[in-house]
């Protein structure tokens, strides 16, 4: 978040950010107060205004900072070349690892999007759409090369992101599955999704009720 003249320094700013993340993660935006935040950092409430104007700006800057970090990390991780499977594999591996490592930021980014005022909401949604577009580009590339069988790459991207991002709500270090096992399981499911039967292929017509009754009747 931007530093305002007269603040006491970046260490205090980082302490405010960490404490705010914990409070938002534990209590939610509506229940968190600036008095709580100041108390968690050990400063006077008035000192917070050296770093942001109000609670809404604090939330917005936290989420925007997270989205900027997410974009930068993804750009560094993606393969500039390679086939569709290799590119999608790298995306999935990155997304899962990032969400495991930063569960608080990810959870707040999703759960508190509704708490943003309209202008701030639109700015974050645009950043999320840019992230989604990078996955869609990979899926479209794989479809063009014949590796992926997808009728609607945008719908597939939404499904993949919804599945992968949910990890921040249930994964716990030291649980039944290791990070590597979670990553490999997710990767297998995603690759199965994109290489399976596409929606443009018609499903077999279901049997008529009379036919089911005849085939299922016992022979006497």
Classified by CATH at the fold level, domain 1-53 comes out as Arc Repressor Mutant, subunit A (1.10.10)
Least confident segment among 46-55, 68-77, 90-99, 201-210: 201-210
Q: Where are the alpha helices (DSSP H) in the chain?
A: 10-27, 34-41, 55-77, 84-101, 103-111, 118-144, 153-165, 167-170, 179-195, 209-216
Residue range(s) in the chain whose domain bears CATH number 1.10.10.60: 1-53
Q: How many angstroms separate the CA atoms of 190 and 161, rounded? A: 10
98-108 confidence digits (pLDDT tens) = 999 998 999 99
* CATH superfamily of the domain spanning 55-195: Tetracycline Repressor, domain 2 (1.10.357.10)
Q: How many angstroms separate the CA atoms of 101 and 182, rounded? A: 13
Residue range(s) in the chain whose domain bears CATH number 1.10.357.10: 55-195
Q: Which of 55, 5, 2 is nearest to 28 (CA)?
A: 55
Question: CA angle at residue 91 from 85 to 97, to 5 degrees?
Answer: 130
How many CA atoms does the CB half-sphere of 39 hold within 13 Å?
Answer: 6
* Per-residue confidence (pLDDT) for residue 196, from 0 to 100: 74
Question: Which long-range contacts link 180-187 to residues 24+ away (Cβ below 8 Å)?
Answer: 182/96, 182/100, 183/92, 183/93, 183/96, 183/97, 186/92, 186/96, 187/89, 187/92, 187/93
Q: Which of 11, 6, 36 is nearest to 21 (CA)?
A: 36
Q: What percent of the chain has pLDDT over 90?
A: 73
Arithmetic mean of pLDDT, 129-154: 96
* Per-residue confidence (pLDDT) for residue 175, from 0 to 100: 83
Model pTM?
0.80
DSSP string, 68-95: HHHHHHHHHHS-SSS-HHHHHHHHHHHH
pLDDT at 119 over 60: yes
pLDDT at 41 over 60: yes
Question: CA angle at residue 70 from 68 to 76, to 5 degrees?
Answer: 105
pLDDT at 63 over 50: yes
Q: How many angstroms separate the CA atoms of 202 and 190, rounded? A: 22
């Amino acid at each position: 978040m931007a530093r305002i003249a007269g603040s006491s320094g970046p260490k205090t700013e980082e302490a405010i950010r960490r404490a705010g993340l914990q409070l938002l993660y534990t209590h939610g935006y509506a229940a968190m107060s600036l008095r709580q935040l100041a108390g968690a950092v050990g400063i006077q409430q008035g000192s917070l205004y050296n770093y942001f104007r109000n609670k809404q700006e604090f939330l917005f800057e936290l989420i925007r900072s997270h989205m900027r970090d997410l974009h930068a990390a993804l750009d560094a991780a993606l393969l500039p070349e390679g086939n569709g499977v290799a590119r999608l594999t790298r995306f999935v591996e990155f997304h899962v690892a990032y969400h495991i490592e930063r569960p608080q930021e990810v959870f707040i980014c999703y759960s508190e999007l509704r708490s943003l005022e309209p202008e701030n909401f639109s700015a974050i949604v645009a950043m999320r759409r840019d992230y989604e577009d990078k996955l869609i580009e990979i899926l479209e590339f794989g479809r063009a090369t014949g590796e992926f069988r997808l009728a609607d790459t945008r719908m597939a991207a939404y499904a993949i992101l919804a599945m992968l991002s949910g990890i921040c709500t249930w994964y716990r270090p030291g649980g039944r599955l290791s990070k590597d096992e979670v990553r490999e399981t997710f990767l297998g499911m995603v690759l199965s999704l994109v290489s399976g039967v596409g929606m443009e292929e018609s499903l077999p017509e279901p049997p008529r009720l009379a036919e089911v009754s005849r085939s299922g009747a016992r022979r006497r």
